[in-house]
Each structure stands twice: as C-alpha cells, then as structure tokens.
Chain A
Amino acid sequence: MRSDPQLLSRIANEDRAAFHLLFERHSERIYRFALSITRRPHLAEEVLQETMMAVWKGAKRFKERSKVTTWILGIAKNQAYNLLRREARGERLPETEDRVSDPAGDAELSVQMERALDALPEAQREALHLVFYEYLSVKETAELLGIPEGTVKSRMYHARQNLAKELA
C-alpha cells in the first residue's frame, strides 16, 4: 500500500488514481473538520472540494517535514475561514436551514451538544476537533494552527470550560 507522501508525489505528476486514493483516505476527516469549524454541511462540502482541488494543484509544494494529514487539514482550515469570511461579507448567500443536526440516537444529548458547540468560538471548536477527534499532540496542533504550544493549551482549557458551562 502506498504511503501518503508517495501518493502526493504521484499526484504532482497528475495521476488521478493516486488522487482518488488520497481522497478516499482523507475526505471524511476533512469534511468533519470543516463541519466542526463552519457548523454548516453545505460549507463543509465546499471546503472538502476546495481543499482537494488545492491538494491536486499544490501537491508539488508538499514538504516532507510535516505529516500529510497535518498539511491537508491546514489547507482545509484556511479554506473554511475563507468561506466564512466571504459569507460574512455577503459575497455568498447563507443557507439558513442547513445546520448540523442529528435526529437519531440520544436525541436530547445530541441536541444539547450541538447547541453547546454552536455557542463556542470557531477557534475553540477547531482545537477541540484536532485534539479530541484527530488525536493530534500539542506540537502537531500548534503547527497546524500556526500558534504557540502554550496558546493551544489555553485554547483547549477555555474550550473545555465553555463547553462544560453550555452543557450544564
């Protein structure tokens, strides 16, 4: 099985089979990360598409000193904030009905969590996602977000406090 860096080097030579494999491996994590930041499925879908397009066009620029996952999630983060900025400036029409929701399972708990996450600042949601869902270390999270390790820890601290307050 080819490693992610091997796939990227093939993608740099316009190999679509390699691109498809990388898409299969990472699309779900990109989508869920984007959803954690944007909280809107239609925006997360657009982030996934734009991120993979950026990977297709920029595969040559990947430097092996970082992990492919970290590199891709970094692109996804930038794409998500670009879209949110464009929406805030009125360059895109927001789709008001398109919110994250899940009617299945423990409905009440789920709704409570969704509301709590909606109330958090985007920066805290993205930190929670990278640490709790992607299992990134302090160092990897700091690298991906481009912030000092101390800021990662304090962001996680405030995210936890705010989330616990919202869930209480």
Chain B
Amino acid sequence: MMTCERVREWLPWYVTGSIDFEIAARITAHLRDCDACRTEFVEIAQLRHRFSAAVVEGSTPKARVWKRLRAESPDANDVRIDLGSFLIGLRLGIAAREHRPKIHGDLRICGRNVRIIGKKKGA
C-alpha cells in the first residue's frame, strides 16, 4: 500500500494519465480508501483544467513567424528532385525568391554533394 505522501507526489501525473500502469493501479487502490487524497486529487484535476484553459487562450503568430523563417532560410528548397542513388546522383532544387524561382543543382558522389548549378551554399 502506498503512503499518502507518495500518492500525492504522483497525483499530477495520475491526473494527466502520464504514469506507469502499475503505479496508477496502486494509486487507484489508495484513493478508494483515502478521503484526504481523493480531495487532493479533485483539487489537482481542477487546477490542471484551469491551467490548460489559460494556456490555450489567444491566437498564435504562426503565419508571421513562418514568413520570417522563409526569408531566413535562403538555402531551402520548395521543390527538390533527386535522381540516382546514394553513391552517384543528381539533386535539383527550386526555391521561390521574391517572385523569381532560384534553381540549383548538386552532383552527388559517394554521398557528398558538389554544387554544379547556382551559387555555392553560403556564397
């Protein structure tokens, strides 16, 4: 049988269900017989509910951030075509930059990429 102290330590995870089945079963058995821990359980469940409600309020600035990220990842491809195998092949990348497509190509030899079309990365 778990002590009240041990049970209360685990109650936040018992409330969310993020807990081992074996520990959860022992807590369930304890709660059946312990009024004080049952009260604590209800209080924590209410607290979690109020906390989560506060967290989900408001919108996120997703679109704005994505726009900035696109501008800050200049080597990124919108479309990529891979031909050949890991040992030897060709990769073509197309990226939209300020309404103009930017095309680059890499020749792959033994897993290493060598830029053959477009500017080198970081250049």
**Do residues B65 and A19 form an inter-chain contact, with CB atoms below 8 A?**
no
Residue of A nearest to B96 (CB): A16
- Name the one of A16, A53, A132 contacting B77, with C-beta atoms under 8 angstroms: A16
Q: B84 on the interface (CB 8 Å rule)?
A: no
Which residues in chain B, 39-72, are within 8 Å of chain A measured between CB atoms?
43-44, 47-48, 50-58, 60-62, 64-66, 68-70, 72
Q: A156 on the interface (CB 8 Å rule)?
A: yes
Interface size in chain A (residues, C-beta < 8 A): 46
The stretch of A69-77, A79-87, A89-97, A134-142 that contacts the partner chain = A134-142
- Name the one of A23, A32, A140, A153 contacting B69, with C-beta atoms under 8 angstroms: A23
**Do residues A14 and B77 form an inter-chain contact, with CB atoms below 8 A?**
yes
Q: How many A-B residue pairs have CB under 8 A?
A: 117
Residue of A nearest to B43 (CB): A164
Can you list 19 contacts pairing A with B, beta carbon distance less than 8 Å? A16-B78, A23-B66, A23-B69, A31-B60, A32-B56, A41-B58, A41-B61, A52-B69, A56-B76, A104-B57, A105-B57, A110-B53, A110-B54, A117-B51, A129-B55, A131-B12, A132-B47, A135-B17, A153-B9
Q: Which residues of B contact A (CB under 8 A)?
A: 8-10, 12-13, 16-19, 43-44, 47-48, 50-58, 60-62, 64-66, 68-70, 72-73, 75-80, 93, 95
Q: Which residues of A contact B (CB under 8 A)?
A: 14-17, 19-20, 23, 27-28, 31-32, 35-36, 41, 45, 48-49, 52-53, 56, 100, 102, 104-105, 109-110, 113-114, 117, 128-129, 131-133, 135-138, 140, 153, 156-157, 160, 163-164, 167
